[in-house]
Structure 1
Amino acid sequence: MRALLLTVVLSLAACAQQPPKDDSLYRALGEQIGITRIVEGMLLNIAADTRIVRHFEKIDIVRLRDKLVEQFCVETGGPCVYTGDSMEESHKGQNLTPSDFNALVENLQAAMTAQGVAIPAQNRLLARLAPMRAQVIDR
């Protein structure tokens, strides 16, 4: 019994010492509703972007929207769980170029600006997404 009590106390102490999750970027983007609006705006921008729209023609846009919202939520410290494929798997065979990636980023930036997201928050999101570039290009 004492061992069980000691285990419970130590577990609670370990939990209490963990730093709180930083969700400041999630909040700066407007939480779930704001992220959804940003993603939908980005997808609408892409639909009008002749440089990259062809890459989205055979994609289930509703599923893509949902997975992007999950991913952005997770990346920004929100309470979501990403349930989509890895970046490598989801971009396999698309042979995306750096120009394609840059066009998508421009569309994301335009969507964030349209939603009134401050530039520092935009830059924080882009910095968190930047490592994915290598997982997307030339797959």
Structure 2
Amino acid sequence: MFLLLLASAQVSMTVPAGEEPVEPYVIQDSNAGATPYKTDRWFKAFHGQPGIDRIVESFMDRNIADPVIGEIFKNQDDVRIRRTLKEQICYLLGGGCAYTGRDMKGAHQNMGVQTADFNALVENLQWAMREEGIAFAAQNKLLAKLAPMKRDVVER
């Protein structure tokens, strides 16, 4: 699936099907922006990988259609975003996944994300989690992992 080549402390990888090439970066779980829960309890509360997949698909569809933040997602690699979000959520919820995406600051650099955009994104995630039937306490466990990332995502 991925071809990893170490060179100059960076990792290059073959481009997964449907994704655009990106600048090389170091692939490491710490890029996910938080440490995972030590148990798979929360992963299971999200209905495992199929539940996470449905949440991310619904979340991204809603973001793209959102009149407040939809413009941010134009000209972005939608396939890559969906894949890495699924990995990130699985990883953070203790599902045993590896995270292969970039760090939060690098992934969101020069996107001009504002606090209102971040808040709209969170609302869309909450909507997708409710649609999947995720209990409020489990939703809060994921949001607790994601909330501190605001400082790396919001630029102005």
Distance 1:131 1:73 in 2: 18
Quick one: which amino acid aligns to residue 151 of structure 2? A
Quick one: which amino acid aligns to residue 84 of structure 1? G
Structure 2, gaps ≥5 residues long: 1-36
How far has the Cα of 1:21 moved from its partner? 3.2
Match of 1:58 among 75, 94, 99: 75
Distance 1:99 1:75 in 2: 24
By percentage of residues, which structure has more helix? 1
Distance 2:140 2:71 in 1: 27
Matched, 1:124 2:147: no
Cα RMSD of the aligned pairs, angstroms, is 1.3
Larger radius of gyration: 1
Matched, 1:33 2:50: yes
Matched, 1:86 2:100: no
Match of 2:120 among 81, 103, 108: 103
Q: How far does the alpha carbon of each residue in 1:82-128 deviate from its partner, in whole angstroms, 9 at most, with x for none? A: 00111000111112111000000000000000111111111111011
Which portions of structure 1, spanning 4 or more consecutive aligned residues, are displaced by more than 2 angstroms?
A: none
Q: How far does the alpha carbon of each residue in 1:3-48 deviate from its partner, in whole angstroms, 9 at most, with x for none? A: xxxxxxxxxxxxxxxxx93111111001111001000010111122
TM-score (norm 1): 0.83
User: Could you say which residue in structure 2 is the equivalent of 1:5?
Assistant: none
Distance 1:135 1:47 in 2: 21
TM-score (norm 2): 0.74
Distance 1:52 1:21 in 2: 33
Structure 1, gaps ≥5 residues long: 1-19
Q: How far does the alpha carbon of each residue in 1:48-69 deviate from its partner, in whole angstroms, 9 at most, with x for none? A: 2110000000111111100000
Matched, 1:44 2:61: yes
Count the aligned residue pairs.
Answer: 120
